[in-house]
Amino acid sequence: MGINSKPVVFAALSAVVILVGTVVTVFVPLFMPSTQPVSSFVKPYTAIELEGRDIYIREGCNNCHTQTVRPLRTEVLRYGEYSKGEEFAYDRPFLWGSRRTGPDLNRVGGKYPDSWHYKHMQSPQSMFELSNMPPYGWLASNKLDTSVSFRKTSIQRFGYTEDQVKQQIADYKTRVTAQDYDSKETRDLVTPANLRGDLTEMDAIIAYMQKLGRDVKSMGAGQ
């Protein structure tokens, strides 16, 4: 009699086969270093970039934007170098997304100056008439809350000390509020007067946009 006529044995054997398959394809790779490549070029987010990332999640930008360039000719031509596993080492949770109402953002860092982003965030339609991206100008009216920034970087295990986090925040504030900041004019235009000397949520999300894919670009991209 074949195994097909013994349902209990068949079920037990199937369970064993599926279990072995699961262990081999899921758990073994989990502990293999080759499946978790590290790159010395990929740096953790600064406290400000991480705050921007949280705002990106809060606002659901990932519902319209992906963050992964597939290794297909059409994608590489449009967005740039395809995404590598090691790039996402500090992305918890990852934001690869699954829907491209808007373009992929994995290589947007450095593509435009900050002033472009301030203008685009405030009114995407002022730049692309048919854009269906909602305007996010009000982010510039929200002062950036950095009270738990250090805790966030600690939980993510980025390895910064509290002083380093304070320094990162102070440095970014100095940068965007400086008289000679190259995007000062546009920033002043979108930021309410009382917040021009402070960091806003808009500043943080733009810092995050400018970080996306930059590590790969610094690798000398294109290899």
C-beta of residue 90 within 8 angstroms of C-beta of residue 115: no
Select the span of 28-36, 99-107, 166-174, 176-184 touching ligand HEC (CB under 6 A).
Answer: 99-107
Q: Which residues contact 95 (CB under 8 A, 6 or more apart)?
A: 53, 56, 57, 62, 67
- Could you say whether residue 219 binds ligand HEC (CB under 6 A)? no
Cα–Cα distance measured from residue 210 to residue 218, given in angstroms and rounded to the nearest whole number: 13
Cα–Cα distance measured from residue 82 to residue 96, given in angstroms and rounded to the nearest whole number: 13
Cα–Cα distance measured from residue 101 to residue 97, given in angstroms and rounded to the nearest whole number: 11
Residue 141 Cβ, how far from ligand HEC at the closest point, in Å?
Answer: 14
Structure tokens at 131: 């854009």
Options 123, 131, 164, 177; binder of ligand HEC; rule CB under 6 A: 131
- Could you say whether residue 76 binds ligand HEC (CB under 6 A)? no
- Could you say whether residue 75 binds ligand HEC (CB under 6 A)? no
Residue 206 Cβ, how far from ligand HEC at the closest point, in Å?
Answer: 8
Cα–Cα distance measured from residue 92 to residue 88, given in angstroms and rounded to the nearest whole number: 8
The footprint of ligand HEC on this chain (CB under 6 A) covers a number of residues equal to 22
C-beta of residue 60 within 8 angstroms of C-beta of residue 88: no
Choose between 160 and 207: whose C-beta lies nearer to ligand HEC. 207
Options 47, 95, 165, 205; binder of ligand HEC; rule CB under 6 A: 205
Residues of the shown chain interacting with ligand HEC in the complex, contacts defined by CB under 6 A = 56, 59-61, 63-65, 101-103, 105, 108, 111, 124, 128, 131-134, 136, 205, 209
